[in-house]
Structure 1
Amino acid sequence: MATIDGATIIARSLKQQGVEYMFGVVGVPVIPIAFAAQREGIKYFGFRNEQAASYAAGAAGYLTGRPGACLAVSGPGMVHAIAGLANAWSNCWPMILLGGANDSYQDGRGAFQEAPQVEAARPFSKYVTRPESAARLPFYIEQAVRTAIYGRPGAAYLDLAGDIISAGVEEELVQFPPRCPEPPRTFADPESVQRTLAALRTAERPLVVVGKGAAYARAEDEVRAFIEATQLPYLASPMGKGVLPDDHPLSVAPARSHVLQNADLVLLLGARLNWIMHFGLPPRWAEGVRVIQADIAPEEIGTNLPVEVALVGDLKAVASQLNGALREAPWQYPAETTWWTGIHGKMEANRQATEVMMADDSVPMGYYRVLREIRDLLPRDAIICSEGASTMDIGRTVLPNFHPRHRLDAGTFGTMGVGLGFAIAAAAVHPEKKVVAVEGDSAFGFSGMEVEVACRYGLPITFIIVNNNGIGGGPASLDPARVPPSAYTPNARYERIIEAFGGKGYFVETPAELGPALSEALAAPVPTIVNIMINPRSQRKPQEFAWHTR
C-alpha cells in the first residue's frame, strides 16, 4: 500500500489551495517541505534570511490574492520570520508561515531550538495551529488559507513538528479538501449606499480617499467608474496609488495637505484613519469633517472619528453598488467651484516648487534631481518598491504609478528592510514587468545580501540606492573614535556587492553620469545596483507640518 510523507502532504495541500509561491531558508526539520514544494509545482525561492523571506510571502499574498508561504526552521528561524507575520498583520495581507518545530515527543525536554512558537505567532496571526498528525495536515492547511483570505486578510501560522513532517501515512487515509473558493464579495446595506450619495450631494468640499484596501479588492475598474461618474476629487494613499493612474485629472495628490485640511466630507474607500492619514484629526484635518467609511471589517468603522455613513463590505462590491445607484440617479460634483479653484491653485504652486528642485544640477545631487531622472526613465507599468524615510516619502510624490498594486513600500507598519523581499516577490509574481527597488542606503542595509537571491534566480531587478551616508545623512569622513549614531561608512560602494554574484553595479556622483547609468541598468538582463551619492544635507521641500503625525 502506497505511503506519503508529511512534507509531501503539506506541499500538495498548499498547491491545491492556490499557494503558488514559497520563500524561505531551509534546514532541520523543514528542508523536505521545500523539495516537496518544488515537486508539486510551487515556485520556491531560497533566501538568505527568514525576515526578508517573510516579507516576500506577504507581498506575494497582496499581489496575487492567495497567501504567499514562508518556510522557516524552528526557534531562531521562526522568530526571524515573525517580522513578516507582523507586517502582514498591519497591512492586512494574506500569508502563511510554516515554522519547523522539534519532534513532538520531545516537547518540554529542552529540545534543539524548542521555543514557544505558537504563543509567539498568535498576536500577529488570524489563525494559529500545531497539527497533531500528518493525516490531518490538509484540513489545517485549508483552514489556514481560508482564514487568511476571508474577511479582512491576514497571516496564518502552522507549527510543524519534525516527526509530523517526516511521518509516513497510507495515502488512502489522507483526504485533501477541495480548494477553498475566492472570498465572497459581500455587499453593503443598500440604504447606506443611498445615504452615501445623499451626503455627497450636500458637501461643499468633498474628497475621496482611495486606499490599499481598494487595491487588494481588485476594485480598480469600479472605483474609477465611480470617480469619473461623480467627478469628485480623489487622493490615493501610498499603496492606493495606481488604483487610478496618478496622472488622472481628478487626482489631487500635489495638494495633499490642502485637501485634507479643508475637506468638509471625506469618503474613505478602503483607507484607514491611522497615522498615515493623521487619525482624521486637526490640524491635518478640518474640525468636524464628515466621514463616510467603506471597509471590509466592521470593527474598523469609526476608528478615531465617528462616521456619518458606514459601508461595510468588499470594496469591489460596494463600489459597484455606488455605481448602480448613480446610474439610477446620476449626479456630478460641479467642475466650477471655489473648492476646485483652490485645489488647482495649490497643486500648481507645489508643482512649481518641486520643478525647481528637480531641475537643480548641483553636485552632490539632491533627492528631487535623482528621483526625476528615475521617473523619466521608468516604464509606465514598472512595479516600484520603495523604502527609506526621505527616499520613500519624496519618491511617493515624484515617482508615479499608473496601475494598481504596482507600488510596495514600508506600509502601515512603517517597516524598513522590506524592499528587497518585496522586489523579489514582485519579480517572481510578475516576470513580465520591470521591478525597481528604490532604496535609501540605510534601508538597503537591512537585507542587502538578498541581491544574491535575485542573481541566483535570474530576476533582473534594478536596485537603486540613494546614498546619503547614513540615517538622515552622514558626514563625508569619519573618526572611528567618534562615529555619530546615525552615520554609515562614507561613500560606501554598495554596487560592488552585486558584482560578486554575477550582477552589474554602477556608481554615480553627477547628473551627467545618472541618466546613462540608469538607462543601462534598467535595460540589463541581469540584476543591477545603481549606487547614487547625494548631498547628505538634501531634504524635502519645506513642509507645512512636521513629519507624519505631529
Structure 2
Amino acid sequence: MPGSGSSEEQVSGAKVIVQALKTQNVEYMFGVVGIPVTEIALAAQELGIRYIGMRNEQAIDIYAEELGNNVRPSVTLLGDANAVSKQLLEQFDKTPWQFPTDSKWWKTLREKMKSNEAVSKELASKRSLPMNYYTVFYHVQEQLPRDCFIVSEGANTMDIGRTVLQNYLPRHRLDAGSFGTMGVGLGFAIAAAVVAKDRSPGKRVVCVEGDSAFGFSGMEVETICRYNLPIILLVINNNGIYQGFDADTWEKMLNFQEAVTAAPPMGLLPNSHYEQVMTAFGGKGYFVKTPEELQNSLRQTLEDASKPCLINIMIEPQSTRKAQDFHWLTRSNIPGQHGCPDSNDFGNLSPTLLPIHRIPADFHQQCPSSLSSASHRNQDMEAG
C-alpha cells in the first residue's frame, strides 16, 4: 500500500482476474474495450492470453422459464454446456445405449429427409432470375471445402441453409439456434477463425448471413479485416426481413408517401451494396446476381485466402422456403389470461398474416394481454 513502506509489488484487479482465467487454461478473450475492460484486455495480452477487440456487444442466455415454451419436451437440461455434456458422456460410459436404427422414428425421419431432399433439389434447379434461396445454396454447397466451418444466421437463410449446406466434421457448425438470437453470427465466425488460424492454418470459415441478420453486427467486418481472418461472408440479400421489395416497387411506394408511412417495416433498402462494407476496410467484395457470377466469385475467394471476403448475393425479394408443417416459435404454451383466448389461438398465424399494424384498434379493449403476447411474438419473429 502507498506509504506503508512495503516493498511488495502491487497487483491490479485486472491482473488478478486474468491470472484466474489463465489458471483455468483460457487462451482467447473476446470483448468490447472500454473502462474497465481495457485494463483487463491489456493484462490478458501481457500474460499471454490472446485478446480480440470486438465492435458489437452481445449477450446470450437461456432462462429456465423458456424451456418447453414452444414445444413441450420430455426432458429439459439447463446448465453449463461443457459440464452437462461431460455428465451425459460419463453416464453413457456406465450404461452404453444407442437408439435402435430400425425403429419407427428412424424410418419416419429417413423418409422425411428423402422427401425434403427431393423438394430442395427441384427448387434449386430453377433457372429463373433473380435466384431463390435453394439455387444459391446449391451452388455454394458444390464448392464448399469439406473441412470448413459453417456459420449461419438469419430467418429463411439459416433455416434453409441448415438443410442444404452440409457439415462433414463435428463441431464445425455454428448458428443462431432455435431461438434465432440475431447478432451472434459474425462473432461466432470471428471466434472460429481466430482458433482456426492458430491451429488449422488454411481452414476457412464460411459465414452465411441474411441481409437483415448482417445488419445486427455488420461493423464486425472491421474486426475481421483488422485481424485479417480467413472468413468468407455470404450475404443472402432479398431486400428485407423474411421478404422484401424490388427497386421499382420501392420507388413507387416512396412516390406515394414517405418511407416511414408507406414502407412496410420488413422492407430494407433495395440492392444495398453490403460488399462495399468489406472493401472499405481493405477486404474483397463481390456483388452477384446470377449463378455464374456466384460460382466465379466463390471460386476466386476460395483460391485466394490472403484477405477476407464478402459476397453480396441478390435473390428474388419474394423468395421463401418450401411449405412448412408448422411455424417457427409460434406454439406458445403460456395459457391465456384475464378471460382472453388461449395464446395458442394465435399460434398458427405467421407474422406476414398478423403484422402488428393491422390489428384492429379496439383489440386492446377486447383482449389486452393477448395483444401484448402477440405483439412480442411478432417482434421476436421479425427479429429472427
Question: What's the TM-score, normalizing by structure 2?
Answer: 0.72
Do 2:29 and 2:50's aligned partners in 1 also have CA atoms closer than 8 Å? yes
**What SS does the aligned partner of 1:505 have?**
strand
Partner of residue 279 from structure 1, selected from 50, 63, 72: 72
Residue 355 of structure 1, CA deviation: 0.9
What percent of counterpart residues are identical?
49
Partner of residue 361, structure 2:
none
Partner of residue 360 from structure 1, selected from 119, 126, 143: 126
Partner of residue 505 from structure 1, selected from 285, 290, 303: 285
Structure 2 residue 152 is matched with structure 1 residue 386: yes
Do 2:275 and 2:310's aligned partners in 1 also have CA atoms closer than 8 Å? yes
Do 1:294 and 1:312's aligned partners in 2 also have CA atoms closer than 8 Å? no
**What SS does the aligned partner of 2:240 have?**
coil
What are the within-5 Å matches in structure 2 for residues 107-122 of structure 1?
none
Do 1:294 and 1:313's aligned partners in 2 also have CA atoms closer than 8 Å? no
Partner of residue 462 from structure 1, selected from 228, 232, 244: 232
Do 2:232 and 2:309's aligned partners in 1 also have CA atoms closer than 8 Å? yes
What are the within-5 Å matches in structure 2 for residues 97-116 of structure 1?
none
Do 1:296 and 1:312's aligned partners in 2 also have CA atoms closer than 8 Å? no
**What SS does the aligned partner of 1:320 have?**
helix
Q: Structure 1 residues 495, 22: CA separation in 2 closer, same or farther (over 3 Å shift)? A: same
Residue 91 of structure 1, CA deviation: 8.9
What are the within-5 Å matches in structure 2 for residues 208-357 of structure 1?
275=70, 278-280=71-73, 293=75, 295=77, 314-323=87-96, 333=100, 335=102, 343-357=109-123
Partner of residue 208, structure 2:
438
Question: What's the TM-score, normalizing by structure 1?
Answer: 0.51
**What SS does the aligned partner of 2:212 have?**
helix
> Per-residue CA shift, 1:110-153, capped at 9, x if unaligned?
xxxxxxxxxxxxx9xxxxxxxxxxxxxxxxxxxxxxxxxxxxxx
Residue 507 of structure 1, CA deviation: 0.8
**What SS does the aligned partner of 2:287 have?**
strand
Give the RMSD, CA atoms, in angstroms. 2.8
Query: Aligned equivalents of 1:340 and 1:47: distance in 2?
Result: 43
**What SS does the aligned partner of 2:120 have?**
helix
Partner of residue 110, structure 1:
none
Do 1:521 and 1:529's aligned partners in 2 also have CA atoms closer than 8 Å? no
Do 2:154 and 2:180's aligned partners in 1 also have CA atoms closer than 8 Å? no
Structure 2 residue 42 is matched with structure 1 residue 35: yes
Residue 15 of structure 1, CA deviation: 1.4
Q: Structure 1 residues 313, 464: CA separation in 2 closer, same or farther (over 3 Å shift)? A: closer
Residue 313 of structure 1, CA deviation: 7.5
Structure 2 residue 325 is matched with structure 1 residue 544: yes
Residue 6 of structure 1, CA deviation: 2.4
Partner of residue 22 from structure 1, selected from 25, 29, 46: 29
Q: Which of 1 and 2 has higher RCO (CA within 8 Å, sep 6+)?
A: 2
Partner of residue 343, structure 2:
none
Letter in 2 for 1:390: N
Do 2:155 and 2:180's aligned partners in 1 also have CA atoms closer than 8 Å? no
Do 1:296 and 1:314's aligned partners in 2 also have CA atoms closer than 8 Å? no
Partner of residue 90, structure 1:
62
Do 2:243 and 2:320's aligned partners in 1 also have CA atoms closer than 8 Å? no
Residue 343 of structure 1, CA deviation: 4.7
Residue 348 of structure 1, CA deviation: 2.8
Partner of residue 522 from structure 1, selected from 302, 309, 324: 302
**What SS does the aligned partner of 2:48 have?**
coil
Q: Structure 1 residues 496, 546: CA separation in 2 closer, same or farther (over 3 Å shift)? A: same
> Per-residue CA shift, 1:26-78, capped at 9, x if unaligned?
23333222111111011111122323xxxxxxxxxxxxxxxxxxxxxxxxxxx
Query: Aligned equivalents of 2:184 and 2:100: distance in 1?
Result: 40
Q: Which has the higher strand share?
A: 1
**What SS does the aligned partner of 2:135 have?**
helix
Do 2:245 and 2:318's aligned partners in 1 also have CA atoms closer than 8 Å? no
Letter in 2 for 1:322: T
Query: Aligned equivalents of 2:162 and 2:230: distance in 1?
Result: 23
Q: Structure 1 residues 467, 6: CA separation in 2 closer, same or farther (over 3 Å shift)? A: same
Query: Aligned equivalents of 1:344 and 1:11: distance in 2?
Result: 49
Residue 443 of structure 1, CA deviation: 0.2
**What SS does the aligned partner of 1:50 have?**
coil
Partner of residue 262, structure 1:
none
Query: Aligned equivalents of 1:383 and 1:91: distance in 2?
Result: 28
Structure 2 residue 244 is matched with structure 1 residue 474: yes
Letter in 2 for 1:8: K
Structure 2 gaps of 5+ residues are 1-6, 332-347, 349-384
Partner of residue 427, structure 1:
193
Q: Structure 1 residues 453, 333: CA separation in 2 closer, same or farther (over 3 Å shift)? A: closer
Letter in 2 for 1:544: D
Partner of residue 532, structure 1:
313
Query: Number of residue pairs matched?
Result: 305
Partner of residue 484, structure 1:
264
